[in-house]
């Protein structure tokens, strides 16, 4: 102990990578527990930008154990390219460990993701087209190929052959001759197996050992609560569970191994892909905030939809994750706004006021935000390093968020650099910081 889970409390892209990187400095290990290379973490350090898709954010710290847990889906082409790229940037990846039970994204998963979106037409989900959904579908259907299968040519070929058959049928209307040759694919994946063999291990046991020895372990989530397949805005969600409960399943530990859950939220909201987004800003202000916040997808380069902070959704995210702390990122992006709007409840199409997140899709799709208007501030925040130096309106904004959500704000982001961070007074007693002091 202690185990701290870091999760996205909105629709992803909240800045989890930066927070994980900051805490990783003080932790012994970082483990990713769900998602795949649909995620994109950007970490800016000493002026150099690192873009990670599969690697746990702790990889930039020499000597840390960085684990890809069993709940992650791995595209081995992306993983090996990422290892090579980090090496080129002078980063040592020898601390990487990969669960033998994690599932592999196969070439047919990518084709199926594209075909599925094409078939949905105007109702498309707007996936990252990285094969995530089809891979998790195969896992549930017990047709998945796991990391451990890459080490056994006979088993690998047999499992691919079984999984491939139904894919050929479903892809037939989309491609005359899908490039799905059993032999070629088996050889390609055996090659990946050779490349990553040195990192493959029983990662659950590794994490138990660390926790039992009193080491500090970070469980790093991808995406965000509102994209959770069970609790998000289904069907406009990803195919895994980005909520804290999944840290146990996707890393192989029990709920009592988790001490704290930190939720990361931007000072406003963004969403990529389709689906309900009650506080979306439709006018030129969204272009202005997108520009100021660099709101383009790390993975796909798509412009992110931009909205004001949604405290109905954030309270919900706090509850389903049992957040113990909030990190509010990108506060600097709001500088220069005369007024800041925040949704504290919704109005349903029938006129009812809703202060909890509606469970019914039709209600949510038609819900309109009820705004609270707060004063803005004009000062740039990028160089501020302490809470007291923030403009009074910015401090009031943070207090408003903490009060409405009922969770203390421990960290505030005022720019992309790791030094552009304010630790609040509430941070001192938290588990990851206590671990560092011990
Ligand atoms: P998928 O995860 O590629 O299947 O995409 C499903 C939905 O989740 C789409 O709306 C994506 O834009 C969204 N999504 C997936 N990963 C991320 C992420 O890391 N950040 C933000 N949105 C994401």
Mean pLDDT of the chain: 94
Location of structure tokens 């109005």: 347
b or e along 196-232 (b: 16 or more beta carbons within 10 Å of the residue's beta carbon)? beebbeebbebbbebbeeebbbbbbbbbbbbbbbebb
- List all residues 6 or more positions away from 181 whose beta carbon is below 8 Å from its beta carbon: none
Please tell me the distance from the alpha carbon of residue 403 to that of residue 241, in angstroms, as a whole number. 27
pLDDT in tens, 258-299: 999 999 999 999 999 999 999 999 889 999 999 999 999 888
Location of structure tokens 């969770």: 407
Percent of the chain with pLDDT over 90: 84
- DSSP H helices, 89-227, are 107-120, 132-140, 153-171, 182-196, 203-212
How far is the first Cα of the chain from the last one, in angstroms, to the nearest whole number?
12
pLDDT of 192 > 80? The answer is yes
Average pLDDT of 394-404?
Answer: 98
Determine the distance separating the centroid of ligand 1 and the alpha carbon of 213, expressed in angstroms.
36
pLDDT of 130 > 90? The answer is yes
Average pLDDT of 418-437?
Answer: 84
Average pLDDT of 208-229?
Answer: 97
Q: Hey, whose CA ends up nearest to atom 5 of ligand 1? A: 127
pLDDT of 378 > 80? The answer is yes
Q: Are 402 and 372 in contact (CB under 8 A)?
A: no
Reported as a pLDDT band with limits 50, 70 and 90, residue 436 is: low
Which residues are registered as beta bridge partners of 65? 29
Determine the distance separating the centroid of ligand 1 and the alpha carbon of 79, expressed in angstroms.
18
Determine the distance separating the centroid of ligand 1 and the alpha carbon of 183, expressed in angstroms.
32
Reported as a pLDDT band with limits 50, 70 and 90, residue 435 is: low
Pocket of ligand 1 (CB under 6 A): 12-13, 38-40, 125-128, 130, 132-133, 222-223, 227, 236, 238-239, 272-273
pLDDT in tens, 18-31: 999 999 998 999 99
Backbone angles phi, psi at 82, to 5 degrees: -65, -40
- List all residues 6 or more positions away from 424 whose beta carbon is below 8 Å from its beta carbon: 387, 398, 408, 409, 410, 411, 412
Q: pTM of the entire structure?
A: 0.96
The residues annotated as belonging to the active site are 13, 41
- Atom in ligand 1 nearest the alpha carbon of residue 227: 8
Average pLDDT of 239-266?
Answer: 98
Average pLDDT of 374-399?
Answer: 98
User: What's residue 364's pLDDT?
Assistant: 95
Reference 193, options 239, 160, 219, 167; nearest CA is 160
Token pair listed for 93 = 């990846």
- Atom in ligand 1 nearest the alpha carbon of residue 133: 4
């Amino acid at each position: 102990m202690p185990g701290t889970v870091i999760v996205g409390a909105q629709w992803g892209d909240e800045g989890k990578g930066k927070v994980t990187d900051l805490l990783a400095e003080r932790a012994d290990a970082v483990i990713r527990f769900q998602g795949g290379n649909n995620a994109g973490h950007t970490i800016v350090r000493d002026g150099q930008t690192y873009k990670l898709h599969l690697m746990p954010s702790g990889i930039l710290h020499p000597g840390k154990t960085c684990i890809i847990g069993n709940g992650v889906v791995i595209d081995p082409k992306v993983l090996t390219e990422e290892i090579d790229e980090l090496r080129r940037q002078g980063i040592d990846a020898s601390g990487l460990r990969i669960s033998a039970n994690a599932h592999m994204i196969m070439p047919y998963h990518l084709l199926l993701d594209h075909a599925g979106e094409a078939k949905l037409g105007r109702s498309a989900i707007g996936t990252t087209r990285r094969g995530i959904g089809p891979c998790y579908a195969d896992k549930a259907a017990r047709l998945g190929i796991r990391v451990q299968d890459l080490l056994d040519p006979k088993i690998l070929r047999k499992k691919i052959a079984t999984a491939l058959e139904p894919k050929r049928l479903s892809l037939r209307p989309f491609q005359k001759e899908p490039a799905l040759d059993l032999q070629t694919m088996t050889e390609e994946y055996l090659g990946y197996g050779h490349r990553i063999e040195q990192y493959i291990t029983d990662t659950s046991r590794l994490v138990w050992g660390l926790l039992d020895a009193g080491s500090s372990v970070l469980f790093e989530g991808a995406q965000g609560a509102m994209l959770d397949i069970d609790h998000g805005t289904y069907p406009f969600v990803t195919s895994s569970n980005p909520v804290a409960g999944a840290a146990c399943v996707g890393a192989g530990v029990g709920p009592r191994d988790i001490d704290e859950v930190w939720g990361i939220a931007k000072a406003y909201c963004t969403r990529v892909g389709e689906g309900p987004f009650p506080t979306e800003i439709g006018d030129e202000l969204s272009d202005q905030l997108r520009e100021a916040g660099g709101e383009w997808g790390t993975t796909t380069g798509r412009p992110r939809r931009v909205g004001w902070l949604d405290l109905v959704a954030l309270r919900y995210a706090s509850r389903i994750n049992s957040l113990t702390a909030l990190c509010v990122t990108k506060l600097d992006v709001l500088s220069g706004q005369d007024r800041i709007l925040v949704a504290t409840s919704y109005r349903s199409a029938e006129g009812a006021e809703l202060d909890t997140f509606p469970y019914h899709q039709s209600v949510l799709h038609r819900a309109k935000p009820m705004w609270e208007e707060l004063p803005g501030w004009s000062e740039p925040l990028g160089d501020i390093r302490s809470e007291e130096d923030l403009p009074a309106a910015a401090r009031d904004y943070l207090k408003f968020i903490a009060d409405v959500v009922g969770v203390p704000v421990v960290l505030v982001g005022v720019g992309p650099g790791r030094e552009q961070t304010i630790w609040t007074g509430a941070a001192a007693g938290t588990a990851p910081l206590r671990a560092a002091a011990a």
